Amino acid sequence: MNFKENVIKTIKERKSALCVGLDVELNKLPAVLKNEKDPVLKFNKEIIEATKGFAAAYKPNLAFYEQFGTKGMEYFEKTLEYIGDSVIKIADAKRGDIGNTSKKYAQAFFEHFNCDAITVSPYMGEDSISPFLDREDKGVFILALTSNKGSFDFQMQKMADGRYLYEFVIEKINSWNTKKNCGLVVGATHPQMFEGIRRSAPDLPYLIPGIGAQGGDLENTVKYGFVKNDVLALVNSSRGIIFASDGADFAERAGEEAKKLRDQINSCLK
């Protein structure tokens, strides 16, 4: 089964296109966890247990684990174990380097950590991406049009032929998708672009950040970014779910927010 097929299968089986971002910040952890030996792990475990019935994927962002050094990588690995194999595990690593370096990154995340997918940057070109594409069962979400304000600095610049740079990037990604394992990162803060992007990349899974704390437009994101027959998109929310409460009810509230967003996505698909 290739990665695209896995995305479609998981979304259908779980009746959800929700991805929960696990971006842990110590200063935002509930006070009830302060005396725990490993508050990060306790937090992640309870969040995962509370939200797993509503999610199709989880996306731990590596920066929030690397900040703790060696201990942080233990947190990352243990978190992947908590997530398990019934949903899609996405390493939000945004890697991308010369070929031999990318090969080692791919080995780390796909073989050692057994992630199902990774986020990468296309800035250094095809040879920096190709090592991640060797395995058809592992997905590569490539940054195309991101949700941050800085996306206008490069991605939204027009080329000599009148296209935006991100459109050229998507064209290249389409050409790399021979094993049906490429995907796009497209921010929900650009809903006006989704219809054109989906036309230019009808067969690629999307990872869509920007819903929730970043103020993305869910209705238009689903309307124009999704393929309704075989849903090919995962909508990510991080802070809006995992930090819904800083009280003792943090896990319960996270579960409620995950269910709410899952239901909103499903409602938009009808």
As annotated, the active-site residues are 94
42 in Cβ contact with 6 (< 8 Å):
no
**Partner residues linked to 87 by β-bridges:** none
Start-to-end CA span in the chain (Å) = 28
**Cα gap 210→187, rounded to integer Å:** 6
